[in-house]
Structure 1
Amino acid sequence: MVIALPAHSEGNASAASNDSAIPSLKGKRIGITAIGTDHYWDLKAYQGAIDEVKRLGGTPIALDAGRNDNRQIAQIQTLIAQKPDAIIEQLGTASVLEPWLQKIRQANIPLFTIDTASPASLNDTTSDNFFIGEQLALKLVNDIHGEGNILVFNGFYGVPVCAIRYDQLKAVLKYYPKVHIIEPELRDVIPNTVQSAYAQVSQLLTKYPKGQIAAIWAAWDVPQVGATQAVDAAHRNEIKTYAVDGSPDVVSLVKDPKSSAAAVVAQQPALIGKTAVDNVARYLAGDRSLPPYTYVPSILVTKDNAAQLQQALGQIAAK
């Protein structure tokens, strides 16, 4: 189900589209390469792209790299050799990917991306992560009344969307001088993200007694699960946790009045994947008016609206 939200940024291609107006992909082969699908967001975006290629009559060549950079590079090489009509690349480490994204273009294969900003990409379908980062940061500082120490997970700055969200947090905190990030910053990892976050936060809750930590921030929501579990287990209800993506388990945590999860910005990953394919279809049909970025709306989930948004996000059945 798609959230009925207007795009807040003008001058960008809207994610809302009339399905009947999308050109057919009959006879077209579309390569899809993803760095991984173990996270809810990644899987939904990946599956959304595959499903839309099929719906439009095309053939998806879908490859999941299992969170291995070298494997994704090998898969990109495989796709280039197969010469599909277009390639869609989803997430990954920008510095590692960029030379290989350039090779896709050098092979005269149209390249589209999902959450990967690259000069080689004809169009990147994503959420407006500048707005997401600002929105989440403002929610955090207002909840803690503009004062207090915060823990920050910053393990994937090489992923552009994570870097943007982190940079927006720092930009907001510049104007809240009584809010301080505890150093060193925490490192989120893959795999075992929840367990690692739980262990790191539990250790710091022992080091910093009640009143010395006000909030915990993460650029995506799997570390938020571990952080929330650690805070709740320690009965530190003065601490609130914040993150981005809106996985069903995290939205449920935010909904729970007893949980320390205060907010998560929910994206629409299936719609992002679908929209990327729709842009490919338009391009292959001759449309050269696509902008560099297509932004799909996101929404801030809080204690006040989580129950309502579970249904709007398609995470629970309509009553």
Structure 2
Amino acid sequence: MIDARLTLPRRSLLRMGAGLCAATALGGTAAQADEAAAPVAVGDPKLSLKGRTIAISVAGTDHFFDLKAYQAQVETVKELGGTPIGLDAGRSDKALVSQLQTLVTQKPDAVIQTLGTLTVVDPWLKKLRQAGIPVFSVDLPSTNVINTATSDNFSLGSQLALQLVSDIGGKGNVVVFNGFAGVPVCEIRYTQLKTVLKYYPEVKILEPELRDVIPNTVQDAYAQITALLSKYPEKGSIAAIWSAWDIPQLGATQALVAAGRDDIRTYGVDGTPEVLALVKDPKAPAGAVAAQQPGVIGRTAVLNLARYLNGDTSLPSQTFLPAIIANKANAAEVQKQLGQV
């Protein structure tokens, strides 16, 4: 279990957003981003969680996105006068099921589930719903939740794929990490990659695709790419490496640096500080990363929950928050916008 006293450091947030309404593109206005990041008026009765206990269940917090989204949820519940209960499954499906099972009997006022394999958690989200407990989620769209706060993975997936295609000149072999098809957001990003590549027939995905793992993701990706480079030693034989999140990208980039392969670029999603720093480095082979706003996403989930508990039944099934493609040209500015410098 996570100590619910954890708080999210106040940082300047990405000034490209869609506020708390649905967004369908990576762009937006500064005013909308300010709306999403604005402090909550604790005394606002429309958003009060006073006297409410909110369970915040998360698949794990070892990853930058997951931790920041979780911390933002904890902080926002407390700002609204509620009591957050933090539950960290530590990347264990068994532990995740156990903590959701416990919540069915404990009956908090509401539950927010952050990530997880849908086939594993969805039966328990349904049981929570049947028990009369409102369920919200972060990055886990499900028919058993009232609202999911998430990045617009359709847009960021296609935009990242287009960045990759542009960087490699529309031709070449691409290595793909594809180990989490059961996680909806990863599946969406992969599907968008495949959709874009359909229109660039000279770009080929190398088979077999690689499998990313948890834990030891960086070390495993490093080892897999090192082995693959031995199989494809000629420069130009591989053009790019893609992953649905950016921890495999980190290991892959380190492997390329160690092997002196400056002919290959890596691509991923999240905007983990170490990866974004590599994208900014003109000498590093990290080509681009789709930087998400985990703090804004986590905060939005709680604000939507508060609206619902205070009588607002007009929420959409999903609230999309935009990401921004950070590349060699703009990574330094994205770091500033995300408060990573």
Q: Say whether the fold is shared (TM-score over 0.5).
A: yes
Residue aligned with 2:227, SS: helix
Partner residue in 2 for 1:261: 286
| 1:284 CA drift (Å) | 0.4
Is contact 2:24–2:155 with CA below 8 Å preserved after alignment? no
Cα distance in 2 for partners of 1:235, 1:216 equals 15
| 1:139 CA drift (Å) | 0.3
TM-superposition CA deviations, 1:231-288 (whole Å, max 9, x none): 1111111100000000000010001111000100000101111110000100000000
Spell out the pairing of 1:22-101 with structure 2 (5 A cutoff). Answer: 23-101=47-125
Given candidates 178, 181, 193, the residue that maps to 1:154 is: 178
Matched, 1:305 2:334: no
Amino acid at match of 1:219: A
Cα distance in 2 for partners of 1:167, 1:90 equals 22
Partner residue in 2 for 1:4: 15
Amino acid at match of 1:86: A
Matched, 1:244 2:274: no
Cα distance in 2 for partners of 1:210, 1:92 equals 38
Cα distance in 2 for partners of 1:241, 1:112 equals 33
Cα distance in 2 for partners of 1:42, 1:195 equals 20
TM-superposition CA deviations, 1:44-64 (whole Å, max 9, x none): 001110111011110001100
| 1:23 CA drift (Å) | 1.0
Given candidates 204, 207, 229, the residue that maps to 1:183 is: 207
Is contact 2:174–2:238 with CA below 8 Å preserved after alignment? yes
Residue aligned with 1:243, SS: strand
Greater alpha carbon shift after TM alignment, 19-28 vs 115-124: 19-28
Partner residue in 1 for 2:28: none
TM-superposition CA deviations, 1:195-231 (whole Å, max 9, x none): 1101100111111121100000000000001100111
Amino acid at match of 1:274: R
Q: Which runs of 5+ in 2 are unaligned?
A: 1-11, 26-31
Residue aligned with 1:216, SS: strand
Cα distance in 2 for partners of 1:6, 1:77 equals 35
Cα distance in 1 for partners of 2:228, 2:101 equals 44
Amino acid at match of 2:192: Q
Matched, 1:277 2:302: yes
TM-score of the superposed pair, with normalisation by structure 1: 0.96
Q: Percent identity?
A: 60
Cα distance in 1 for partners of 2:335, 2:15 equals 14
Amino acid at match of 1:305: N
Amino acid at match of 1:235: G
Is contact 2:61–2:88 with CA below 8 Å preserved after alignment? yes
Amino acid at match of 1:177: P
Partner residue in 1 for 2:8: none
Matched, 1:166 2:190: yes
Given candidates 235, 242, 259, the residue that maps to 1:217 is: 242
Cα distance in 2 for partners of 1:145, 1:154 equals 23
Is contact 2:119–2:182 with CA below 8 Å preserved after alignment? yes
Cα distance in 1 for partners of 2:16, 2:261 equals 35
TM-superposition CA deviations, 1:158-215 (whole Å, max 9, x none): 1000000000000000000000000000110001100110110011111112110000
Cα distance in 1 for partners of 2:184, 2:301 equals 18
Partner residue in 2 for 1:293: 318
Matched, 1:198 2:206: no
Residue aligned with 2:290, SS: strand
Amino acid at match of 1:49: Q
Given candidates 122, 132, 152, the residue that maps to 2:146 is: 122
Partner residue in 1 for 2:129: 105
Residue aligned with 1:32, SS: strand
Is contact 2:170–2:202 with CA below 8 Å preserved after alignment? yes
| 1:80 CA drift (Å) | 1.7
TM-superposition CA deviations, 1:261-316 (whole Å, max 9, x none): 01000001011111100001000000001000111121111111111111110111
Residue aligned with 1:62, SS: strand
TM-score of the superposed pair, with normalisation by structure 2: 0.90
Aligned residues: 313
| 1:6 CA drift (Å) | 3.8
| 1:93 CA drift (Å) | 0.4
Partner residue in 1 for 2:5: none
Residue aligned with 1:180, SS: strand
Cα distance in 2 for partners of 1:23, 1:211 equals 56
Partner residue in 2 for 1:226: 251
